[in-house]
Amino acid sequence: MTAAIVLAAGRSQRYGRANKLLEATAAGPVIGHVLNVLAAAPVRPIVVVVGADGRRVARIARRHVAHSGRLRIVSNAAYREGMASSLRAGLSALPPHCGGTLVCLADTPGLDRRLIRRLLAHCRPGVDVARPRHDGVPGHPVYLSQRLLAQLSDLAGDRGAQPIIRRVPAHRRRTFEAGIEAVRDIDTPGALRRFVSASRRGHKSSR
């Protein structure tokens, strides 16, 4: 079974004083939407790595995923060191038989079930890395095979798994074209307002 790691420990420095993961969208808190999408997917376990505002983020995670019995919450005391520390913390919570994992950013409110289904379709034997892209820009989530997981324990800094991914041979990588939701995250209040506004327009036009 493929797992999912949700990186939700960051300090939201560029966002300002508030924690962007707790901000409201039409579908609830930003992180709540991401967890709802994963809860509907065939992934197990769903590991949520918390740090800044850890208790509040964990409470939302339990509300959205705990009923499925798949949730694992990991606290990353070293979250200030960057994304790599959160990724290592998430990996430590994976079961030994895990076939691979999706690495998901918690601030991607455009994530949807179709994107997850398309990504999982590429998670096959012989594939070490799979990810969406939009107009040539690599996106998220990213699938990492079991073969790669042991190599991630030495990661450092805020670059995540990129140093490992770059070393994977081309024939063991898969990418596919996706919509802008694959590359859109929320870094500023303005970005969130634009996302919420666009979502409302899309909802009205679909009526």
The whole-number pLDDT of residue 145 equals 96
Q: Quickly tell me which residue has 């594939």 as its tokens.
A: 127
- Domains of the chain plus CATH, in order, are 2-205 (3.90.550.10)
End-to-end C-alpha distance for the chain, whole angstroms: 37
The whole-number pLDDT of residue 68 equals 66
pLDDT tens for the chain, residues 1 to 207: 899 999 999 766 666 667 888 888 877 888 998 999 999 999 999 999 999 889 999 999 999 887 768 999 999 999 988 888 999 999 999 998 898 999 999 999 889 999 999 999 999 999 999 999 999 999 999 999 999 988 887 777 776 788 889 999 999 999 999 999 899 888 777 888 887 777 665 544 334
CA-atom Rg of the chain in angstroms: 16
pTM for the whole structure: 0.90
